[in-house]
């Protein structure tokens, strides 16, 4: 993809997280008291502004277990965009490996009685697509971060919305919510494990 990621279309919640991550004193609740809340905004603990995007990208895949749209010209109803002057090749490689596992899970392994050349062409076409820089930036990132912005559990707040609300957390037990950093971390780990158990481990059993 080159050294710079460039301008990426992202959900509004993600843009708000990025902006708050770079502002030390933002997001304090109206009843903020240093004896009742953490003193430092947890959102400022991200090492880089791209980190919330990477978290949302992976969560969207784990949550949806959907393959990205075939059409490289797919348009997304997203209100925001952000310019990132970073390289995320390390994460992209891991993500693409997960996408390949998901593709095989959904399409199966080639059978002896099937058309191997047709199967190989479909697999190679998919691989070529996800390795394309413009497709990754213009389709994959918007698609999966949008999934992370969708409400979970009926009317529940989305994963990104809960991250946005995790900057300051009350120490009082009755005020601890699903937006606390420890809850969000556990949710991510749990859904990552579910993806591994249902997708990756199932593939290994079929080999």
Per-residue pLDDT for 3 more than 70?
no
Rounded to the nearest 10 degrees, the angle between the axes of helix 51-64 and helix 141-148 is 80
* Contact residues for 178 (Cβ-Cβ < 8 A; gap 6+): 156, 157, 162, 184, 187
In a domain, residue 141? The reply is yes
Residue 61: band (very low, low, confident or very high) from pLDDT cuts 50, 70, 90:
very high
Per-residue pLDDT for 176 more than 60?
no
Listed residue (10, 5, 2, 94) closest to 52, CA to CA = 10
* Strand pairing category for 6-10 and 80-84: antiparallel
Count Cβ atoms below 10 Å from residue 181 Cβ, excluding itself. 16
Per-residue pLDDT for 173 more than 80?
no
Q: What is the CA radius of gyration of the chain?
A: 19
Look at the chain and report how many structural domains it folds into.
1
In a domain, residue 31? The reply is yes
Q: Where are the beta strands (DSSP E) in the chain?
A: 6-10, 80-84
Torsion of CA 174, 44, 8, 11, to 10 degrees: 20
In a domain, residue 107? The reply is yes
Lowest-confidence pick of 26-40, 72-86, 162-176, 186-200: 162-176
Helix intervals (H) in 79-140 = 89-107, 116-131, 133-135
CA-to-CA distance for 150 and 200, rounded, in angstroms? 24
CA-to-CA distance for 4 and 7, rounded, in angstroms? 9
Per-residue pLDDT for 105 more than 70?
yes
Answer yes or no: pTM beyond 0.85.
yes
In a domain, residue 32? The reply is yes
* Contact residues for 153 (Cβ-Cβ < 8 A; gap 6+): none
Joined tokens for residue 114: 């099937």
Per-residue pLDDT for 1 more than 60?
no
b/e string for 117-144 if b means 16 or more Cβ within 10 A? eeeeeeeeebeebbeeeebbbbbbbbbb
**Which residue segment(s) compose the domain that 202 sits in?**
6-206
- Which residue matches tokens 């997304």? 76
In a domain, residue 49? The reply is yes
In a domain, residue 1? The reply is no
Per-residue pLDDT for 155 more than 80?
no
Mean pLDDT of 41-64: 94
* Contact residues for 189 (Cβ-Cβ < 8 A; gap 6+): none
CA-to-CA distance for 64 and 149, rounded, in angstroms? 11
pLDDT > 70: what percent of the chain?
91
In a domain, residue 189? The reply is yes
Chain mean position to CA 19 = 18
């Amino acid at each position: 993809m080159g050294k710079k990621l460039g301008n990426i279309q992202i959900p509004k919640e993600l843009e708000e997280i990025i902006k708050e991550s770079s502002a030390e004193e933002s997001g304090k609740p109206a009843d903020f008291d240093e004896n009742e809340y953490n003193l430092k905004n947890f959102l400022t603990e991200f090492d880089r502004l791209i980190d919330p995007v990477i978290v949302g990208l992976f969560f969207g895949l784990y949550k949806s277990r959907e393959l990205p749209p075939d059409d490289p010209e797919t348009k997304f109803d997203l209100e925001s965009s952000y310019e990132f002057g970073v390289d995320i090749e390390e994460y992209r490689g891991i993500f693409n490996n997960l996408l390949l596992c998901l593709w095989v899970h959904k399409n199966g392994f080639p059978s002896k009685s099937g058309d191997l050349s047709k199967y190989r062409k479909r697999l190679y076409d998919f691989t070529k697509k996800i390795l394309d820089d413009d497709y990754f930036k213009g389709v994959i990132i918007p698609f999966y971060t949008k999934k992370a912005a969708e409400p979970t559990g009926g009317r529940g707040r989305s994963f990104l919305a809960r991250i946005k609300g995790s900057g300051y957390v009350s120490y009082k037990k009755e005020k601890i919510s699903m937006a606390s950093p420890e809850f969000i971390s556990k949710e991510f780990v749990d859904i990552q494990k579910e993806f591994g158990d249902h997708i990756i481990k199932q593939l290994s059993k079929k080999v």
